[in-house]
Structure 1
């Protein structure tokens, strides 16, 4: 998987790209938004590995050099893409800041981010680093913090609670997306894959004893039809996380 290890060389220039994009349309019809939209289309279909300046330029019908007046390179383009799709997460309405139970708001944050990763699988390929926040990322962060505001948590606790929720979501989403690709490439369900592997594994592990592991993995397979269930673990983990957060909130004066 492609990783966002290549960081933009000039964060000041990136701030301009994010917050003050050029609005002028060239003779080729290029704008930063059009370039970003084309790049998102590539990544949505084929992942970040397929994303190159040459590929995006080709899809837009221009030479790679035509893109450089608008973006400095691939790393900056990925930042623009991440910010653009972040603005979509709550496009139909942000989590209400104070309306309704706080737990329902937190669950909406988790579900909205889950849906976001499923719609744009490449977002889990981009390794976290020191990104420059643009309007999309900043608006998303504001909406999510507002949903946790007024609960008696300190500012730092609010940020950490949100980070924990988002980390749980992205970790499980990365696993689910990876499994989906493996299943598509192999054209086998987990049950079919396991039926092919089980005899060899049984022979290799003959004489060894892993009674709890065998029992649990068998129970999971029978209940879900899968060798692993990261989405189920995400739902279970979210309940535990929010239960713990509820205890902290309830203990506040």
Structure 2
């Protein structure tokens, strides 16, 4: 039985690529099990996901499911890859940007596609740990992200680190939404209502001058969107790193710090950082916008 191979990562790989699976019973297949698992997790989160509940939704016994998938952890791997294959506005924009935009626009589009995916399936942010086996759809998204910065002059290790950093940022922001929603669901009290009732705390904050000044100036009334602010600062840091790598390399093989295109270098004088006036203007506008 499939359940006997629950601890075999290679078997999960076979399932993810749909190789050597069990013959489907009438009305039951691996695809149906995975889709039902996604629907259940969308409704109840990962805490509410179990093989028993999936079986009940499908109208089969739990043991019937084990002929197709060995256990809950393997089902989660299959679910992650299932939703990674979804087409969304974000993934379409990522693909469109890849055709004519620079590395920053393409990487940003990938991050936004991941954010949209986690807004539709919040439980994705709850999948923790480094031993979840990726499937073809997950690897395709990872490949797309790697390709956005692979030709910027960063080292191979830095390319991988940059993509990992962006992915962890998206997951961490999504996890905050999951935790807030779960707390609200459990307590029946919204975040605004809970904080609105903390008068005894607010009365004690006047002894902290910086906090009080920022409060009175509206800093807490008109907060920055944490995802938008964090993503922009993260991309700024990556751009700075690419610029530093550009300045430290030889002129031969230099690429634009904005779009990653090859840059023709002058015979003498300061090396060029941009491939065109439009890229130089784009970088200037970005720096100006950040100061506003």
Alignment TM class, shorter chain as reference? 0.7 to 0.9
CA distance in structure 2 between the aligned counterparts of 1:220 and 1:189, rounded to whole angstroms: 21
Is 1:22–1:32's contact at 8 Å kept on the other side of the alignment?
no
Partner of 1:209: 207
Partner of 2:111: 110
State how many pairs are aligned. Answer: 237
Is 1:89–1:112's contact at 8 Å kept on the other side of the alignment?
no
Cα root mean square deviation, aligned: 2.5
Q: TM-score, normalised by structure 2?
A: 0.73
Partner of 1:3: none
State the 1:93 CA deviation: 6.6
Is 2:111–2:166's contact at 8 Å kept on the other side of the alignment?
yes
Matched, 1:52 2:50: yes
Is 2:94–2:106's contact at 8 Å kept on the other side of the alignment?
no
Alignment of 1:91-130 (within 5 A): 92=92, 95=95, 97=98, 99-130=100-131
Q: Deviations over 1:201-232 (max 9, x none)?
A: 246x38x83222344456343214xxxx6xx2
Is 1:15–1:132's contact at 8 Å kept on the other side of the alignment?
yes
State the 1:121 CA deviation: 0.5
Alignment of 1:39-188 (within 5 A): 39-88=37-86, 92=92, 95=95, 97=98, 99-183=100-184, 186=187, 188=189
Q: Which has the higher contact order (CA 8 A, sep 6+)?
A: 1
Is 1:43–1:51's contact at 8 Å kept on the other side of the alignment?
yes
The answer for unaligned runs of 5 or more in structure 2 is 1-5, 247-253, 255-292
CA distance in structure 2 between the aligned counterparts of 1:93 and 1:222, rounded to whole angstroms: 32
Is 1:118–1:177's contact at 8 Å kept on the other side of the alignment?
no
Residue 244 of structure 1: SS of its match in structure 2?
A: helix
Partner of 1:237: 230
Matched, 1:33 2:31: yes
State the 1:149 CA deviation: 2.4
Q: TM-score, normalised by structure 1?
A: 0.83
CA distance in structure 2 between the aligned counterparts of 1:69 and 1:186, rounded to whole angstroms: 39
State the 1:94 CA deviation: 5.0
State the 1:19 CA deviation: 1.6
CA distance in structure 1 between the aligned counterparts of 2:117 and 2:153, rounded to whole angstroms: 29
The answer for unaligned runs of 5 or more in structure 1 is 1-7
Q: Deviations over 1:113-162 (max 9, x none)?
A: 11111100001111122222211111111111112221112221111111
Tell me which structure has the larger Cα radius of gyration.
Answer: 2
